[in-house]
Amino acid sequence: MPAPFRRLLVSVLLTALAACSRPAEPWHLTDVSGHLPDLDFSLVDDSGAHVSGQSLKGRATLVYFGYTHCPDVCPETMARLMQVLARVGPDADQTRIVFVSVDPARDTPALLRTYVRAFDGKHAVGMTGSDRQIEAIAQRYRVAYQMEKRDPSGAYEVTHSSAVYIFDRDGHARLLATDRDSIDAIAADLKRVIHGKST
């Protein structure tokens, strides 16, 4: 092989090796890849249709556990997610937000539909199910929730985890976002998930 070609080949190989050894860019959010199971459940969406995790594949999915009567954390989190999608820009069309109710006794599909569409009628969908179905998905993703004592009028609150789970288009759990993560950080990592970038 002529010397110029040898030098070119060595240069290309060295560049490739340097790229392979480059450290991965760290995530802003908590990386849960390999630590949480894939997106899998059997619930009812806010149109009354039965939905499984398989049917949500194809887009990045942000899953949040809350309830429509929540006085503060749930609406604040949904509002933050709207800001995240605004930062993501056109890539937002490759995402969906799944709001899973931890209060199935009150959160009917119709009520969930009204609630989530007040935030985003295009990307957000509400999900509910039987007590057993909600317990199953909560246990699957280690979500804690508890009904609090009823007041004299019969109203009650539900204490629940407030993290947002981010799954890639193949339904693999990738990231966990909390209220301590900035909107810009969530948006930056979400864009990487949308485009299938792990580094």
Domain limits of the chain? 23-194
**What number of residues does the chain have?**
199
Q: What is the gyration radius of the CA atoms in the chain, in angstroms? A: 21
Give the N- to C-terminal CA distance of the chain in Å, as an integer: 36
Would you give the DSSP letter of residue 102? S
Give me the CATH topology for the region 23-194. Answer: Glutaredoxin (3.40.30)
Query: For strand 95-101 and strand 60-66, is the pairing parallel, antiparallel, or unpaired?
Result: parallel
In sequence order, what are the beta bridge partners of 95?
60
- Go through 98-134 and write b for each residue having 16 or more CB atoms within 10 A of its CB, e for each that does not: bbbbbbbeebbbebbbebbeebbeebbbbbbbeeebb
pLDDT at 87 over 90: yes
Asked which of 41-45, 88-92, 151-155, 180-184 is least confident by mean pLDDT, the reply is 151-155
**pLDDT tens for each residue of 137-185:** 999 999 999 988 888 887 889 999 899 999 999 999 999 999 999 999 9
- Count CB-CB contacts under 10 A for residue 93: 13
Least confident of 86-90, 185-189, 193-197: 193-197
What integer best gives the mean pLDDT of the chain?
A: 88
Partnered with residue 128 across adjacent β-strands are: 44
Burial of 190 (0-12, 13-18, 19+ CB in 10 A): buried
- Name the pLDDT band for 11 (thresholds 50, 70, 90): very low
Token look-up 């864009």 returns 191
Give dist(CA 87, CA 81) in Å, integer.
10
pTM of the model: 0.85
**Residues in CB range of 7: below 8 A, 6 or more apart:** none
